[in-house]
């Protein structure tokens, strides 16, 4: 598996995590379901700018993603995603924000026979356009990707709060193709789809944070496959990070 990156923000996470992981009583969510302590700890982590590990479902991707609130990402967080996760670093935004940006689903824009079908575990890929912020250079360095990610979070918040925000403003800030892939959430989030895109966005919404999250799959160097849930949980334990199962998120945060 990936070797843990030695990073300043990881040390800070360990200190904060020691307090976050103290068990608390179950709480009742708005839809009447019971929120387990791990979920409340995840909200606290997000509000502190720390990542949460989320495993979706064994019969879906069967992968664990490191998920950050996008506005809190810095170069050391991007380095952690590269070194400790190893998957594709993406920014997920809700459907309403993607509409304001006028971002399509990528598969609908490509006139090519490779887009004729979808992954076996899903009805549609969430991928939209890959972008760079216009003030980046190549767009791939940790600092460049940080700039793109943080500015996407700011743009998402602006689009959410300002009905006059339009694609011209988005295009003035970002260019495509780029090195940060945007994922478009399903319109009803967890009601319509339960991928990492929707799981992460639902966590951000419940934590009352800007509508943008970073997701990156955790891979295993030894097997060449996705990191197993047990190994992902062990990573979370070593770094005092919150680990969640997607089923828990869906049960607690899906509307009635």
**DSSP structure class, residue 82:** I
- Separation between Cα atoms, residue 256 and residue 250, nearest integer Å: 11
Q: Which of 6, 14, 109, 121 is catalytic?
A: 121
Q: Which of 179, 205, 231, 251 is catalytic?
A: 179
Residue 216: active-site member: no
Q: Which of 2, 21, 56, 90 is catalytic?
A: 90
- Separation between Cα atoms, residue 175 and residue 177, nearest integer Å: 6
Q: Is 144 strand, coil or helix?
A: helix
Residue 21: active-site member: no
Q: Which of 63, 65, 142, 198 is catalytic?
A: 65
Alpha carbon 185 to its chain centroid, in Å, reads 11
Residue 132: active-site member: yes
Residue 26: active-site member: no
Residue 116: active-site member: no
Pairing of the two strands 90-93 and 174-184: parallel
Q: Which of 56, 198, 217, 245 is catalytic?
A: 217
- Separation between Cα atoms, residue 194 and residue 65, nearest integer Å: 13
Instruction: List CB contacts of 45: < 8 A, sequence separation 6 or more.
Output: 16, 17, 20, 51, 52, 241, 242
Residue 6: active-site member: no
Contact 113, 161 (CB under 8 A): no
Which residues are the active-site residues?
65, 90, 121, 132, 179, 217
């Amino acid at each position: 598996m990936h070797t843990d990156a030695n990073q300043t923000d990881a040390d800070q996470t360990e200190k904060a995590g020691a307090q976050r992981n103290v068990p608390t009583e179950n709480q009742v969510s708005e839809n009447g379901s019971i929120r387990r302590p791990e979920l409340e700890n995840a909200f606290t982590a997000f509000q502190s700018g720390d990542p949460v590990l989320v495993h979706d479902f064994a019969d879906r991707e069967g992968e664990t993603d490191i998920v950050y609130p996008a506005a809190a990402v810095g170069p050391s967080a991007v380095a952690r995603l590269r070194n400790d996760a190893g998957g594709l670093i993406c920014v997920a935004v809700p459907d309403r924000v993607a509409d304001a940006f006028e971002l399509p689903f990528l598969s609908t824009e490509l006139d090519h026979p490779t887009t004729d079908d979808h992954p076996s575990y899903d009805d549609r890929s969430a991928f939209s356009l890959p972008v760079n912020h216009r003030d980046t250079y190549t767009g791939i360095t940790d600092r460049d990707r940080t700039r793109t990610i943080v500015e996407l979070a700011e743009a998402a918040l602006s689009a959410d709060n300002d009905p006059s925000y339009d694609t011209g403003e988005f295009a003035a800030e970002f260019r495509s193709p780029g090195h940060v892939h945007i994922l478009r959430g399903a319109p009803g989030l967890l009601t319509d789809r339960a991928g990492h895109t929707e799981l992460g966005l639902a966590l951000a919404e419940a934590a009352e944070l800007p509508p943008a999250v970073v997701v990156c799959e955790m891979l295993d160097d030894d097997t060449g496959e996705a990191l197993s849930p047990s190994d992902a949980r062990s990573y979370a334990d070593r770094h005092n990070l919150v680990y969640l199962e997607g089923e828990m998120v869906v049960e607690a945060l899906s509307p009635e």
